Chain A
Amino acid sequence: MDPLVLKKLNQARNERKACVLVTNLGDGRDRLVLEGHMVEGELGEAITKALLTGKSTTVQISETEFFLNAHLPPPSIIVIGAVHITQAMVPIAKMAGYDLEVIDPRTAFATQERFEGTPVHAEWPEDVLAENPLDAYCALAAVTHDPKIDDFPIAEALRRSCFYVGALGSRKTHGKRVERLLADGIRQEQIDRIKAPIGLNIGAASPQEIAVAVMAEIIDAFRNRGLS
């Protein structure tokens, strides 16, 4: 392995950038392909697939065997609102292999007792997200219903290209939210990325069912995300 490639690989991993290390198993030469720097042809298709699935695999291109080692940042779910739905999301996220953190400035909701084993920030999203910025491997679900709490992180998630942005609330509530986001300078095509009402339309009624619908929507967004 080229020491420079190793250095670049570690740098990409530290910066939470998805990449594939491509090793020619015939001559041992390797190169790093970062997400967004696509490669042409059959090898390129295999690299794209590795980036989508996160699965490392060998691939045979004519006479040569390559190993594609996919390095994806672990997807992270940030939930704004330490509510009943959020509590139900915790075990599902854990089971599906997603990190989950909760932010809610209302200290009565954001308690460690209600979210055992899960990072809970009883602070304003503005403060938490300044310290730990969102990125393309974060999903943001805003479920407080309170514009004072939800609006900033929704706008921030759109600016930071989170792979999923969902917001709880009726169509009417969302209509008003759209007006506020437009006034805040967010473009319409960015706003169109918001999943609202939140969750896949499975007729979910209870907090637990809504949690399933939201988690399914997040998984769908992650596995089918655009890679351009």
Chain B
Amino acid sequence: MTEQASLDDELTLAETWMKAGKEVAIATVVSTWGSAPRRSGSHLVIDEEGNFEGSVSGGCVEGAVVAEAIDVITSGEPKMLEFGVADETAFEVGLSCGGNIRVYVERVG
């Protein structure tokens, strides 16, 4: 009865951006271990200029995901990114909460 809660309105935005002629990538949390701020299925959408909406963490790794997404938009090849305390990237971008996440980044179209 109530309208869909806008939990993942990033997907609507991705479609809007696409219709406006932008190149769009969607990043999706596909798995989490331990304490992770966003559950599996959460999205970040990115355009070719690096504008973004949504989140895949509590703001810890979005910068890195946006940079990778611009590569994905250029190449068209999807990428799997992993972030967590256990690997070296943690020191660069780091999940302060101590969790691990895998983020799948793909181009729309």
Contacts and interface: CB of A to CB of B under 8 A. Distances in A.
Given A25-B104, A67-B30, A76-B1, A10 B40 contact: no
A56 B39 contact: yes
Contacts of B107: 1
Given A9-B11, A10-B11, A25-B30, A99 B2 contact: yes
7 contacts: A3-B15, A3-B18, A6-B26, A13-B4, A25-B80, A73-B4, A138-B1
Interface residues of B, number: 25
Contacts, number: 72
Taking each of B30, B31, B77, B106, which has the highest tally of chain A beta carbons within 10 Å of its own beta carbon? B30
Contacts of A101: 1-2
Contacts of A133: 1
B1 A78 contact: yes
- Interface of B, helix, strand, loop or mixed by DSSP: mixed
A6 B4 contact: no
Contacts of B95: none
B1 A135 contact: yes
Contact of B40 (A13, A56, A134, A138): A56
Nearest to A16: B4
Given A55-B40, A58-B31, A74 B11 contact: no
A161 interface: no
Interface of A: 1-3, 6-7, 9-10, 13-14, 16, 23, 25, 28, 55-58, 67, 69-71, 73-74, 76, 78, 99, 101, 119, 132-135, 138
Interface string B1-22: 1101100100110110010000
Given A9-B11, A55-B40, A1 B108 contact: yes
Interface in B30-52: 30-31, 39-41
B55 interface: no
Contacts of B30: 25, 56, 58, 67
Taking each of B4, B12, B31, B80, which has the highest tally of chain A beta carbons within 10 Å of its own beta carbon? B4
A133 B40 CA distance: 31
B57 interface: no
Contact of B104 (A13, A57, A67, A78): A67
Interface in B87-109: 104, 106-109
A117 to B, nearest CB: 14
Contact of B78 (A2, A9, A28, A119): A28
A7 B104 contact: no
A3 B108 contact: yes
Given A1-B106, A56-B41, A71-B8, A6 B1 contact: no
